[in-house]
């Protein structure tokens, strides 16, 4: 027998549906994702920590869940909202249903709701707090509790590595600053035979430089980039090094910009999905990119820095990439390791490798 469940938003909207996944209630920031596939990668992406995800594609769960496509070990999302839930997935790699996976992770979901209406509301009013409950009889009380609920501000600290981890390789030594990194970043670096040292978000520049890295990789991560001033100061010190290549993605892009003197702001409803077109301003190439962020770099503020704009979103004109005027430093707002475009944008990792090889032939940093 189907169990009733309700999605309640802080503006008083109430969407009745049916429960799947965990039976517990949940509260978080309601957002939407426009990807047609990739729900497993999305539910395990650390950047969704504290959020309830609404999928705009109407059928979710149709190819099930497998053990190879997770992006993180412990999903940080608070809940999932879908229109139609596939109860009998069909794929030779599938080992469990989406319902079973959410039960394993203790994440509640709701299906049978009008996800198009929810998405239009978020686009119109912006992201807001939402909750999944089994009883909405006391709707006014639920809405009042939503209005005073404080969204978490320690998402990066929750998702970052707690200790330094080393992964061997015969190529360049890369320090991966982990702010909630997706596993595919490590995969892409390892595929290029890099020696990777993963360090926690608050590792000092002194400790990082003691490893004598040939490159610095700044990962993706959840939340507001200004919530980690210690990391911004560390990146500022790393940028000051001579001839030290640096590559940032998503949150890493925002942190490089902040460390260089730029500012960031919260987007009305964010960019989340695997179908966002981005233009490379240098060569005119347009890539279809995977994105998951609620903040963006203010392009006007970049004019007062040593950074120049390299990429721009075609949907809304927001900044999608920067590079340093003089130093081997660049970053993009999207996820090149996800590669939804048949003309893969993960060639940026090759560019990073080439930068490190070039730097090794020049004067090394202190």
251 marked as part of a ligand binding site:
yes
Q: For residues 150, 153, 159 and 165, what is the CA-based torsion angle, rounded to 10 degrees?
A: -160
Q: Is 295 annotated as a binding residue?
A: yes
> Catalytic one among 41, 155, 250, 271?
250
> Is the four-CA dihedral 87, 91, 96, 99 of positive or negative sign?
negative
165, 107, 352, 361: which is closest to 249 by C-alpha?
A: 352
| 254 labelled binding-site residue | yes
Q: DSSP 3-state assignment of 235?
A: helix
Specify the residue for token string 């959020």. 51
Cα dihedral 74, 80, 86, 90 sign: negative
Among candidates 68, 355, 361, which has minimal Cα distance to 216?
Answer: 355
- The phi-psi region of residue 273 (left if phi > 0; otherwise alpha if psi is between -120 and 50; otherwise beta) is left
Q: Which of 228, 227, 290 is nearest to 71 (CA)?
A: 290
Cβ atoms within 10 Å of 168's Cβ, excluding its own:
9
Q: Is 337 a catalytic residue?
A: yes
The alpha carbon torsion through 123, 291, 222, 226 (nearest 10 deg) reads -80
Query: Known binder of ligand: residue 294?
Result: yes
Is there a binding annotation on residue 221? yes
Decide: 50 and 222 in contact? Cβ < 8 Å.
yes
Q: What are phi and psi of 260, to 5 degrees?
A: -95, -5
Beta-strand runs (E) in 3-136: 4-9, 14-21, 26-33, 51-55, 59-60, 79-81, 84-85, 108-111, 128-133
Residue ranges of the annotated binding site for L-glutamine are 47, 221, 223, 251, 254, 292, 294-295
Give the catalytic positions in this structure. Answer: 250, 335, 337
Q: Which residues are known binding-site members?
A: 47, 221, 223, 251, 254, 292, 294-295
């Amino acid at each position: 027998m189907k169990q009733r469940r309700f999605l309640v938003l802080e503006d008083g909207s109430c969407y009745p549906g049916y429960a799947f996944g965990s039976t517990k209630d949940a509260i978080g920031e309601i957002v939407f994702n426009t990807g047609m596939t990739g729900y497993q990668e999305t539910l395990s992406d650390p950047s969704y920590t504290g959020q309830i995800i609404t999928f705009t594609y109407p059928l979710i769960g149709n190819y099930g869940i497998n053990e190879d496509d997770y992006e993180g070990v412990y999903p940080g999302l608070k809940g999932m909202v879908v229109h139609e839930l596939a109860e009998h997935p069909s794929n030779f790699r599938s080992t469990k249903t989406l319902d079973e996976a959410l039960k394993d992770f203790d994440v509640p979901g709701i299906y049978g709701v009008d996800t198009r209406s929810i998405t239009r509301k978020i686009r119109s009013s912006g992201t807001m707090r939402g909750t999944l409950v089994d009883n909405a009889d006391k709707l006014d009380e639920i809405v009042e509790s939503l209005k005073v609920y404080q969204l978490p501000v320690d998402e990066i600290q929750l998702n970052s590595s707690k200790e330094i981890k080393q992964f061997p390789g015969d190529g360049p030594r890369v320090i991966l600053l982990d702010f909630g990194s997706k596993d595919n970043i490590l995969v892409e670096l390892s595929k290029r035979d890099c020696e990777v040292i993963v360090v926690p978000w608050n590792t000092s520049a002194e400790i990082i430089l003691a490893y004598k890295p040939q490159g610095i990789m700044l990962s993706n991560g959840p939340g507001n980039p200004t919530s980690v001033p210690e990391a911004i100061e560390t990146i500022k010190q790393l940028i000051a090094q001579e001839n030290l290549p640096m590559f940032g993605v998503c949150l890493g892009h925002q942190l490089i910009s902040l460390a260089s003197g730029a500012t960031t702001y919260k987007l009305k409803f964010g960019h989340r999905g695997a179908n966002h077109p981005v233009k490379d301003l240098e060569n005119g190439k347009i890539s279809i990119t995977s994105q998951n962020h609620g903040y963006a770099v203010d392009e006007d503020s970049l004019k007062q820095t040593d950074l120049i704009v390299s990429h721009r979103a075609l949907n809304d004109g927001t900044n999608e990439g920067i590079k340093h005027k003089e130093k081997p430093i660049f970053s993009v707002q999207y996820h090149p390791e996800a590669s939804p475009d048949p003309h893969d944008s993960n060639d940026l990792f090759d560019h990073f490798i080439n930068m490190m090889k070039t730097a090794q032939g020049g004067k090394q940093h202190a």
